[in-house]
Amino acid sequence: MGFVIGRADNAVRGRPTGRLGRYRALDGSAGTALSLDLDTPHAMLVVGKRGYGKSYTLGVIAEELARADGLAPVVIDPMGVFDTLTDAGTQEAVPATVCEHPTVAPDTLDPKSWCALLGLSPESGPGSLVWQAAQGADSIAAMKAAVRETDARDSDSRSAHNHLELADSWGVFDTDGLDEATLSSGAVTVLDVSGLDAEPMNAVCRGVADILYHARLTDNIDRLPWLLVDEAHAFFNGVAGSALRLLLTRGRAPGVSLVAATQRPSAIPTVGISQADILVSHRLTATDDLAALEAARPTYLDGDFADRLPAQPGEVLIVDDATETVHAARIRTRETPHGGESPRASELATDAQLIEE
Ligand SMILES: Nc1ncnc2c1ncn2[C@@H]1O[C@H](COP(=O)(O)OP(=O)(O)OP(=O)(O)O)[C@@H](O)[C@H]1O
């Protein structure tokens, strides 16, 4: 099994692990196996510039989580590239389901989040109406009715109503939306949010993060959730941000893991980097991204961090807090097809065009 990332006592064997890859030897040969601890909760950050393998690495982690017992993996998929987890692969099938139109119950969002989602200040007339409506209603229809029935100024209730109409039009709110039971089937649940704008995408992520966290706090699920979020900067900077920060800072106590992938670590709040116990870094070159990592992780990342970063797709530098170690590795090959390949013009050209050349 080789080394287990995220497990303080590497002598402990026989507990759940996922195959991550192998050490990268200087001569390019494959070294000892590297696994990821799946026994205890973790907060992981996967970073790297575009095209160097973040989504691929998330896919590898999802494959391993789906096969492990006792876990409830959920992928927030803003690029629509993880549906391939259900395809036939090189090994036995990965238990996976894809939800193409994920919805959450309106009351998974608290009043403050409703105001933030709709871009309303809670102190404003329309904002305070939305706040009040969100406190008592469990559907958008009930929220709209509550707003209509107030004796507030006409212009305020009309504005609040219009904002709620807009939220309704996103199609991501439903009283029968995702719940802890559907999210903890044991298979990896892929939530395809790729067709959505930033606000509804954030609403789904926020709702799901809250459902998983509260389900563990109240002992309502007996599996340990792992929330995987691709393009995480889009969520840390939206309504989902506070829920993701909560998972990073307090998720591990009740047993919720977060794996956040981003090409822009500089757009992630410092706490998002400093609270991660496992950092997986693909190639990074932007000065502000490197500075953000170094500023948040001074303990292990000294000045030569940039020099130690890999150059090829699929290669990573892993910083592991549990063992206080840094590892140069290559992520293993996906078993299911990778869905994030950029299209090439040559692939789209017809045979006739290619013959003409
Ligand atoms: N571990 C790996 N083994 C083999 N090939 C890999 C590996 N990781 C990445 N690749 C190759 O690199 C390509 C880019 O990877 P990926 O789509 O994950 O990039 P990304 O960093 O998520 O980019 P983007 O930010 O554009 O989504 C893949 O299509 C694949 O061909």
Distances (CA, A) of 342 to 51, 55, 320: 8, 12, 31
Question: Hey, which CATH number is domain 39-101+177-345, 3.30.390.30, 3.40.50.300, 3.40.1360.10, 3.30.200.20?
Answer: 3.40.50.300
Render pLDDT for 82-95 as a digit per residue (tens, 0 to 9): 999 998 777 888 89
Distances (CA, A) of 276 to 45, 50, 249, 258, 296: 6, 21, 9, 9, 10
Render pLDDT for 315-334 as a digit per residue (tens, 0 to 9): 999 999 998 888 999 999 99
Residue 337 in contact with ligand 1 by CB distance below 6 A: no
In which residue ranges of the chain is CATH 3.40.50.300 found?
39-101+177-345
Q: How far is the CA of 56 from the centre of ligand 1 (A)?
A: 5
* Neighbour-count burial of 164, counting CB atoms closer than 10 A to its CB (0-12 exposed, 13-18 middle, 19+ buried): buried
Give the pLDDT confidence score for residue 61 in this predicted structure: 98
Position 187 pLDDT exceeds 50: yes
Residue 338 in contact with ligand 1 by CB distance below 6 A: yes
Position 335 pLDDT exceeds 80: yes
Residue 35 in contact with ligand 1 by CB distance below 6 A: no
Cβ partners under 8 Å of residue 135, min gap 6 = 111
Q: How far is the CA of 80 from the centre of ligand 1 (A)?
A: 14
Position 62 pLDDT exceeds 60: yes
Mutation to probe ligand 1, out of 56, 57, 75 (largest number of atoms < 8 A from CB): 56
Among 25-34, 63-72, 142-151, 218-227, where is mean pLDDT lowest? 25-34
Q: How far is the CA of 208 from the centre of ligand 1 (A)?
A: 26
Among 138-147, 162-171, 178-187, 334-343, where is mean pLDDT lowest? 334-343
Position 144 pLDDT exceeds 50: yes
Position 353 pLDDT exceeds 90: no
Asked whether 100 and 192 are in contact (CB, 8 A), the reply is yes
Q: In the predicted model, what is the mean pLDDT of the chain?
A: 90
Give the pLDDT confidence score for residue 357 in this predicted structure: 47
Maximum CA extent, the chain: 75
Query: Which atom of ligand 1 has the smallest separation from the CA of 50?
Result: 25
Q: How far is the CA of 31 from the centre of ligand 1 (A)?
A: 21
* Minimum CA distance residue for ligand 1 atom 6: 314
Render pLDDT for 260-296 as a digit per residue (tens, 0 to 9): 999 999 999 888 888 899 999 999 999 999 888 888 8
Confidence of residue 25 (pLDDT cuts 50, 70, 90): confident
Q: How far is the CA of 245 from the centre of ligand 1 (A)?
A: 26
Q: How far is the CA of 77 from the centre of ligand 1 (A)?
A: 15
Percent of the chain past pLDDT 90, that is, above it, reads 71
Give the pLDDT confidence score for residue 352 in this predicted structure: 52
Q: How far is the CA of 296 from the centre of ligand 1 (A)?
A: 26
Among 130-134, 298-302, 333-337, 342-346, where is mean pLDDT lowest? 342-346
Render pLDDT for 212-247 as a digit per residue (tens, 0 to 9): 999 999 988 999 999 999 999 999 999 999 999 999
For residue 37, the Cα-to-chain-centroid distance in whole angstroms is 18
Position 343 pLDDT exceeds 80: no
Residue 313 in contact with ligand 1 by CB distance below 6 A: yes
Which one, of 16, 27, 83, 25, lies nearest residue 223 by Cα?
Answer: 16
Beta carbons within 10 angstroms of residue 218's beta carbon:
10
* Minimum CA distance residue for ligand 1 atom 24: 50
Q: What angle do CA 105, 243, 75 make, to 5 degrees?
A: 75
Average pLDDT of span 43-52: 95
Mutation to probe ligand 1, out of 20, 36, 46, 52 (largest number of atoms < 8 A from CB): 52
Asked whether 256 and 243 are in contact (CB, 8 A), the reply is no
User: What's the rounded Cα separation, in Å, for the pair 178 and 226?
Assistant: 16
Asked whether 134 and 114 are in contact (CB, 8 A), the reply is yes
